[in-house]
Structure 1
């Protein structure tokens, strides 16, 4: 029998699709969630990727400035000042940072020459910027920054987004993880004293409390639940989020329920990797007469926020018992309002494209090789070097390309998989 949602009623116990009283006949589901406050539904983070080349004059300028300027090198792009840092483990050569504006730009893929067309630019936008500007203006700024770095016309290669809902009157307790059903076997739990990564299929946490729980991999759909007030204090964003909850960013981002300054705030984030949105783009069917769905840019995705949010809640499902979804999950899934309408489409992810008959063999081969690498305590750099020499690399590169997985994404995935096999005792 399929899992069900309890029926909803208003305060007069009349059937109401937006009611906060949940009842299920002959079942132990009877909840009054009238005290739960849904504060704001927002886009928390955008990462826009661009196909292009990199202007050699830019790198020459950076090199010259580093030789003549002590400390961090300043650059000015599309009306914004940035400091230049090394790209580190990001897969890009440079990271341009402007924390005051809430903008980060990753420049020049390490896997390609600057004059080869590829995913050379990634612009990351934080809430500090997203809350102040419309999605159209955000896209224009990102596009302008990218174009200022390339001598050719840039194109949208993909986008990752984080959707967020802030609520009061509910927080996860010790029973949260045991009742959470997900295909993902990766859960990270963090509290004030320690953190742990556990396998959902082999362990159940039934004790203590936590400040943060993260479920799923960064290269798929990931859910994160955490105490937003504590996080805002640590990151010095308390005034920003209080302004958001109080309606000061309306009408760009309207609040739903009134913010109670005396209560804690829990944030639920659903994070979508760009490869997942490309899968939706390939698999989604539109009604006759409507243009096909594109999910390559922020402005593309903005029409689909509500369906994506609801899809994620089906992937990560909190259950009351074997027959019913927990009422709080029903409320969060169906009552979050992202303010933007969405088109009449049949949303579906497509994991395959035509002409790729050896995908399963590639995945199995890489998985087996990673297990061997982990057993022999290879670093991710050593593992990557051996993969390149294995004869599998050309097919693996095409496999990753078809799913919108960049080289830096794959390097991070390889590092995570090696760590998982060691930490979860999958290798002897």
Structure 2
């Protein structure tokens, strides 16, 4: 019956997409590729999109740091939670993006107007900000995290983000790439958002439009390396290792090997990728949200990619049902924040809301247990079932996994009182240019 129901869902979705957009879903394996096809078919003018590959791709990729999520104050009461209506589509609608020929530059390009550029920059904060908002990748023991630091650092920055930040940062641009600029998404967003609003929230078409709107920008930033999977004998595998980056190997005994590898030979081919646009959209979203940081009109407890948790109501001009406006989701009469995607609170309607990144049963963790994690050396060991796939045995095994819940200091420094309780956080300070 699961297969029958899935077939019925796909059939309905196929008819819906074909009737509205004239496209067959069998030609597009993901929502982002379908969104990209709708945009190209109905809205894209020729020769507008700057295709990025090779060194240009890797240069701009450093500026592609995604949304900004931080915890500033670990607990409080009467906290207003606001979300932006369709943040990414709203900035796509209202901003211009890099188009046309990609041009290389060196030196201070900021003296030129009416062009879009992405530059390698030396940056320092003019003063220690409570909520710094320029974001970089930072290496930690377990990999990389995005942080917004004070102090001195290097980054790749977009021209609109530069113009928004020069009031708080000293920024020297060294080199990079520049483009023409144009609003290329306004009609796409207007049409899809209007179509979405024609249907109630529970209607499949409303959800479909939401997915299409939010999936387009990421398709422009797709990694231009093809991952391949092949069955082969040991002799062929040895030859393969001299030519490609091997990602995984499964030994199938007498049947040979199953190998997953990156075909880097296809890197410089035309994959219709423009990471300059994908990164620009996320940069504009961070710029939009930065206007609600370091604001003396209210106290900021926590911020996510498209949400803020503050101690008072926003002005009426900032709220509403229109795209890009904030909407009040709920009010916490008591809340605990332990890190990015890690918080719990009781609303004024006595509803318990909790979020634990990577743990699916967050509501099972009691509010008092969250509160206890503010104390030094406190932790909670949680258990959850996780599915593991084993291709060589053609099966799936469900194993119990331990999740260790603690306050998170990967993105900001935890400040404790004399008794070891977390009372606030501070941005990391970068002392040396890296």
Greater share of strand residues, 1 or 2? 2
Which structure is richer in relative contact order (CA contacts within 8 A, separation 6 or more)? 2
The two structures have a TM-score, normalised by structure 1, of 0.23
Larger radius of gyration: 2
